[in-house]
Structure formats: C-alpha cells, structure tokens
Amino acid sequence: MDHTIGSYEAKTKLPEILRAVQSGERFTITLRGEPVAELVPAQGTKRGDAALAVAEMRRLMDERPLAGRLT
C-alpha cells in the first residue's frame, strides 16, 4: 500500500514508518506538498517482497475478474 506523508510527520514518526516499510508498505515523503522522496522496502527483504507480491496479485484480481466461474 502506498502512503503520502509530509516531511515533519515522517521525521516525528520515523520508527513507526520504518516498521510499516519493513512489512512491505511504501511512502512518498513530501515537502510543502511536493513529492521529494520515496521510502520503499530494500531489495532482497523477503517479507517486503512477499507483501508487495500479494498486494499486486490482489490489485490484478480486482482489475481483471474472471468472466465465468471455474468448475
């Protein structure tokens, strides 16, 4: 899941944000409303990779529902 957060809030809640990133969430950090940085899970973190894969699969399933039921 992607989040947008201001730089001041990112500074004050950094430990909480890092735990969220560790579980696969992504943050765009803004400065005066303009995006300036993205905080994403480091490559190679299995937990983050799995969470992102599940989120992507759910998104694709929502976008492309099956036309009929499989029997």
DSSP string of the chain? -EEEEEHHHHHHTHHHHHHHHHTT-EEEEEETTEEEEEE-PPTT-HHHHHHHHHHHHHHHHHHS--SS---
How do the pLDDT tens digits run along the chain, 71 residues long? 689 999 999 999 999 999 999 888 999 999 999 999 999 988 765 666 677 788 888 888 888 877 665 55
pLDDT number for residue 27: 96
Domains, the chain: 2-63 (3.40.1620.10)
**For position 18, what pLDDT does the model report?**
94
pLDDT score for 34? 95
